[in-house]
Amino acid sequence: MGKFSPSLRFCDKLPSIMAQDNFTDFAPEPLQPESPTFAEKVGEFFLETFKTILLALLIYFAISAVTDRVRVENVSMQPTLYEGELLVVWEPAYVLGEPKRGDVIVFHHNSQTDEDYIKRVIGLPYDTVSVRDGQVIVNGQVLSEPYIAEVTEYEGDWSVPANTLFVLGDNRNRSSDSHVWGFVPMQDVVGRAVILYWPLNEIRVFNHRDLLESSS
């Protein structure tokens, strides 16, 4: 039995020796990520550019589906709008809501042509509109109109039929509008002007508040 005691003593010491060695020399080194090649960088750049362009096109077509862009062609809406200015028109405006007195709208002047006009809504269905002494009166109430170019020189009285609008240009004495040719059928309305986007120094959002509320 005494012959095997050295081996036993060696085995007794083995756990302590192993405990002292953490095997750090055998731990695998972490792999270093490889730098992308030039071709991979170029490919990633074009992929990101493509995704950005695709997203921009989707947004553009989504907006185009519910808006129109209109160029002002005459002086009838001065000083609110001038020739050459560009507008965004919100087409579902009166599908989702009701027109208000004071809305600036685009409409087909003649259903037989592509001719569109831009004017301001003054009277809604069943309103009575009068022009007296340079003032516009709706349902017996004088409108406050800081946007007009000059005092209105003509006079008249109108009763607005159902499903139509009474519209006037802000340049009252140089505008062909409802005081000349009558009312605008609701089905001829293209939409409501919401943003003037050109020229850039004139960018603004149109404020749509009922004129009778503003005058009260």
Tokens of 21: 């060695």
Instruction: Kindly report, residue by residue over 114-147, the tens digit of the pLDDT.
Output: 789 999 999 999 999 999 999 999 999 999 999 9
pLDDT of residue 67: 77
pLDDT of residue 213: 74
Question: Do the Cβ atoms of 91 and 191 come closer than 8 Å?
Answer: yes
Q: Does residue 64 carry a catalytic annotation?
A: no
pLDDT of residue 10: 44
pLDDT of residue 11: 47
Instruction: Kindly report, residue by residue over 178-206, the tens digit of the pLDDT.
Output: 999 999 999 999 999 999 999 999 999 99
Name the superfamily (CATH) of residues 68-215.
Umud Fragment, subunit A (2.10.109.10)
Closest by CA position to 195, among listed 206, 182, 209: 206
Tell me how far apart the alpha carbons of residues 54 and 94 are, in angstroms, rounded to a whole number: 31
- 34: pLDDT confidence band, cut at 50, 70 and 90? confident
Tokens of 177: 């509008």
Tell me the pairing of strands 128-132 and 135-138: antiparallel
pTM: 0.74
Closest by CA position to 193, among listed 167, 155, 160, 164: 167
pLDDT of residue 8: 45
More confident call, 20 vs 71? 71
pLDDT of residue 42: 83
Q: Which of 76, 111, 175, 176 is catalytic?
A: 76
pLDDT of residue 214: 66
Torsion angle in degrees (nearest 10) through CA of 96, 102, 105, 109: 120
Q: Which of 41, 51, 119, 175 is catalytic?
A: 119
Instruction: Kindly report, residue by residue over 52-106, the tens digit of the pLDDT.
Output: 988 887 777 766 767 789 999 999 999 999 999 999 999 999 988 999 999 999 9
pLDDT of residue 170: 97
If residue 17 lies in a helix (H) or strand (E), which one and from where to where? helix 5-20
Q: Does residue 41 carry a catalytic annotation?
A: no
More confident call, 216 vs 123? 123
Would you tell me how many other CB atoms lie within 10 Å of the CB of residue 209? 11
